[in-house]
Amino acid sequence: MELIIASANAHKIEEISRLLPKSVSLTSAKEVGITEDIPETADTLEGNALLKARYIYERTGKDCFADDTGLEVTALNGAPGVHSARYATDGHDHEANIDLLLRNLEDKTDRTAQFRTVIALIIDGNEHLFEGIVKGEILHERVGAEGFGYDAIFAAENTNESFAQMELDKKNAISHRGRATAKLIDFICLQ
């Protein structure tokens, strides 16, 4: 089975590729000629994931999937949430996003948060959604050099390290994206 992923994020593509069974061939949007930014204008993670998957499907007619991920911080009423990638700027400036988040949490004692990923799959023209959640807390400073996004300041429950300190396979075993992808794989294996 061939699936097109609606992403240009090399880190995300690598994470997901390592989780998929060998029977699934993953192709990036760029590899099928879609190089423009895909609009993410919905108010929810589910909406953005569907927008991106539909964009690919309408242009290729091929089975595809897209995800959207948000970091939802309790003390900030779920922010940055759907705006996680563009929290501080219009671009994907991970460092500026982290800086703003840490500033917004300076006077907060509750640092609980969760990462939530929603994957939208379009297969044979039918749409399916899969969700993965990992609970944890926001650290007071960056720790680790791996990963991307907010990984350096997020520690999952029952771990003593940030996502940016973990080897990719360990992170994938417990992460929001890993959990959503596991549900996607279970569904694909039933096809």
Q: Residues with catalytic annotation?
A: 68
How would you classify residue 124: left for phi > 0, otherwise alpha for psi between -120 and 50, otherwise beta? Answer: left
Contact indicator for 120, 38 with CB cutoff of 8 Å: no
Contact indicator for 50, 35 with CB cutoff of 8 Å: no
The span from the CA of 186 to the CA of 37, in Å, is 29
Both tokens of 2, joined, read: 């061939």
